[in-house]
């Protein structure tokens, strides 16, 4: 019994054609029509494998193969929504490989001991509805469903409206099935495995994430007539914050990252001093105390910039997740299984957020990473060698077999 590698690659390519961008990337932002089309393609494959498909109250999709002793399922999965111009593997590899693992049982007419379940979580990327990992967060009890329903997207509609519009407001009670274990295969999205020439990451945790929306308000004014010492330039305040954040990462030290991914000046005109700038700040660290220290320095800088530039600032916390540690037994199982298969491997922490970090709240959870070429992701250039994808899928399957044979029992 093996995963069907050929079909896995075919399906990665087939899914990539939905929401393909001009640069050859993927654009299936959560609960858009492209995301809906991707979901329908995956559901058609799940039904081809005669799996029982259910949609829960926040649009999470679950496909189940009943086992001998039906109960808590061994769940594998990830997401298929993407950032605005992402790659073809982020999330998709984990979902398609998980489906191949379960389909291997169906194709070989072998009944697993446990129920096996493939999960596709809603809005993992968080680029349209914040926070990210929203579907798995609600599933794991980290956010009340009604609060999630009322989240307003960047384009002004609520999460619930889009679930209804796309037909993914399901009736399965969200979080009603607590998995026996959760495994997520994912590309690393960073340079570590490639730089160390290692094939597999046994991921033992995810770093903490802090997302903040910042709005500087100064005074729009004439670009030509306003003397420099009379300006309250929200654009300059934003620029100072970006530089300050880079300095904060140096101060906190290795492992601290800071990103301003969104920056929107208003009125955004060549001859008008920006009176307003809204921007996002993404801070991450695998050490909670250091992340808190970075947040404190960030707040200090906001106050300093406002005082010196004569602007005011408002902030809104969009997401805040502490670092997560995965199940040690599962991490060991992944590295031991990789070693037994002859694949180089290392324990590592994930720089990116994942649905697994939410599932770790409710069941034994771990992740498998495969290398990303030049560490690039959230970019059409995202790429992993086919043979590396095959190794990831094979390891996911072998790890699943061991859990199904009672490793955690």
Instruction: Give the binding site for ligand HGY (CB under 6 A).
Output: 124-126, 132, 352-353
Question: ω before 316 within 30° of 0 (cis)?
Answer: no
Question: Which of the listed partners (Mn ion, ligand HGY, none) does 132 bind, with a CB threshold of 5 to 8 Å by partner kind?
Answer: ligand HGY
Q: Which of Mn ion, ligand HGY, none does residue 100 bind (CB under 5 to 8 Å by kind)? A: none
Binding partner at 353 among ligand HGY, Mn ion, none, C-beta below 5 to 8 Å by kind: ligand HGY
Distance CA 289, CA 298 (A): 14
CB of 127 to ligand HGY, least distance (A): 8
Q: Which of ligand HGY, Mn ion, none does residue 135 bind (CB under 5 to 8 Å by kind)?
A: none
User: Least Å distance between CB 125 and Mn ion?
Assistant: 5
Among candidates 226, 208, 24, which has minimal Cα distance to 133? Answer: 208
Please identify, using beta-carbon distances, which residue of 125 and 398 lies nearer to ligand HGY: 125
Distance in Å, CB of 402 to ligand HGY, minimum: 28
Cβ proximity to Mn ion: between 112 and 371 the closer is 371
Taking the C-alpha atoms of residue 376 and residue 15, their distance in angstroms, rounded to an integer, is 20
How near is the Cβ of 353 to Mn ion at its closest, in Å? 8
C-alpha dihedral over 195, 397, 142, 290, to 10 degrees? -20
Q: How far is the CB of 304 from ligand HGY (least distance, A)?
A: 28
User: What is the distance between the alpha carbons of residues 322 and 307, in angstroms, rounded to a whole number?
Assistant: 31
Q: How far is the CB of 378 from ligand HGY (least distance, A)?
A: 7
Minimum distance, C-beta of residue 133 to ligand HGY, in the bound complex (Å): 6
186: left (phi over 0), alpha (psi -120 to 50) or beta: beta
Which is nearer to ligand HGY, 71 or 84 (by Cβ)? 84
User: Which residue minimizes CB distance to Mn ion?
Assistant: 91
The one of Mn ion, ligand HGY, none whose footprint includes residue 382, by CB under 5 to 8 A per kind, is none
Q: Strands 200-206, 365-370: parallel, antiparallel or unpaired by DSSP?
A: antiparallel
Pick the closer one to ligand HGY by CB: 112 or 126: 126
Partner residues linked to 245 by β-bridges: none
CB of 366 to Mn ion, least distance (A): 15
- Give, in degrees to the nearest 5, the angle at Cα 38 between 260 and 182: 75
- Among 297, 290, 171, 172, CA closest to 245: 297
Choice between 67 and 135, CB closer to ligand HGY: 135
Which CB atom, from 67 or from 91, has the smaller least distance to ligand HGY? 91
Q: Which residues of 154-164 are buried (b: 16+ CB within 10 A; e: fewer)?
A: eeeeebbebbe
Using the minimum distance from each CB to ligand HGY, give the nearer residue, 361 or 402: 361
Q: Which partner from the list Mn ion, ligand HGY, none does 204 bind, CB cut-off 5 to 8 Å by kind?
A: none
Supply the minimum distance, in Å, between the C-beta of residue 91 and ligand HGY.
Answer: 8
Asked if 95 and 43 count as a contact pair (C-beta separation under 8 A), the reply is: no
The residue (of 124 and 233) whose beta carbon lies closer to ligand HGY is 124
Residues contributing to the site for Mn ion (CB under 5 A): 90-91
Tell me how far CA of residue 332 lies from CA of 188, 201, 203, 345, in angstroms: 18, 11, 10, 11
How many other C-beta atoms are found inside a 10 Å radius of the C-beta of residue 117?
Answer: 25
Q: Which does 89 bind (CB under 5 to 8 A by kind): Mn ion, ligand HGY, none?
A: none
Residue 162 makes CB contacts below 8 A (sequence gap 6+) with 30, 31, 129, 153
Tokens linked to 72: 């808590």
> Choosing among ligand HGY, Mn ion, none, which partner's interface includes residue 126 (Cβ < 5 to 8 Å by kind)?
ligand HGY
Q: Which of the choices ligand HGY, Mn ion, none does residue 91 contact, using the CB cut-off of 5 to 8 A by kind?
A: Mn ion
Using CB atoms within 10 Å of the CB of residue 141, give its burial: 0 to 12 exposed, 13 to 18 middle, 19+ buried: middle
């Amino acid at each position: 019994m093996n995963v069907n590698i050929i079909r896995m690659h075919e399906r990665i390519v087939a899914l990539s054609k939905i929401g393909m961008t001009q640069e050859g990337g993927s654009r299936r932002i959560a609960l858009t029509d492209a995301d809906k089309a991707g979901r329908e393609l995956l559901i058609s494959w799940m039904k081809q494998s005669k799996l029982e498909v259910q949609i829960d109250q926040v649009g999470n999709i679950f496909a189940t193969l009943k086992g001998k002793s039906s109960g808590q399922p061994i769940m594998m999965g990830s997401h298929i929504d993407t950032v605005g111009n992402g790659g073809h593997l982020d999330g998709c590899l984990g979902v398609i490989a998980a489906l191949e693992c379960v389909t291997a049982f169906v194709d070989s007419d072998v009944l697993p001991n446990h129920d096996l379940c493939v999960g596709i979580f809603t809005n993992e990327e968080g680029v349209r509805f914040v926070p990210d990992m929203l579907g798995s967060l609600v599933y794991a009890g980290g956010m009340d469903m009604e609060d999630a329903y009322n989240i307003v997207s960047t384009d002004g509609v609520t999460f619930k409206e889009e679930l209804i519009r796309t037909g993914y407001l399901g009736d399965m009670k969200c979080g009603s099935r607590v998995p026996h274990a959760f495994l997520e295969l994912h590309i690393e999205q960073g340079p570590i495995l490639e730089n160390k020439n290692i094939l597999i990451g046994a991921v033992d945790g995810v770093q903490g994430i802090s997302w903040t929306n910042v709005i500087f308000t100064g005074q729009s004014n004439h670009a030509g007539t306003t003397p420099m010492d009379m300006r309250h330039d929200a654009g300059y305040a934003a620029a100072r914050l970006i530089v300050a954040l880079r300095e904060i990462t140096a101060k906190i030290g290795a492992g601290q990252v800071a990103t301003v991914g969104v920056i929107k000046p208003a009125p955004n005109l060549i001859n008008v001093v920006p009176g307003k700038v809204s921007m996002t700040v993404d801070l991450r660290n695998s050490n909670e105390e250091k992340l808190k220290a970075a947040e404190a320095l960030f707040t200090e800088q906001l106050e300093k910039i406002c005082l010196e530039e004569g602007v005011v600032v408002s902030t809104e916390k969009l997401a805040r997740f502490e670092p997560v540690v995965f199940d040690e037994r599962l991490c060991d199982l992944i590295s031991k299984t990789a070693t037994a298969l002859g694949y180089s491997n290392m324990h590592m922490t994930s720089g990116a957020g994942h649905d697994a970090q939410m599932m770790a709240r409710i069941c034994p959870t771990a992740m498998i990473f495969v290398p990303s070429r030049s560490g690039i992701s959230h970019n059409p250039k995202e790429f992993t060698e086919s043979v590396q994808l095959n190794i990831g899928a094979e390891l996911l399957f072998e790890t699943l077999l061991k859990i199904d044979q009672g490793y955690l029992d």
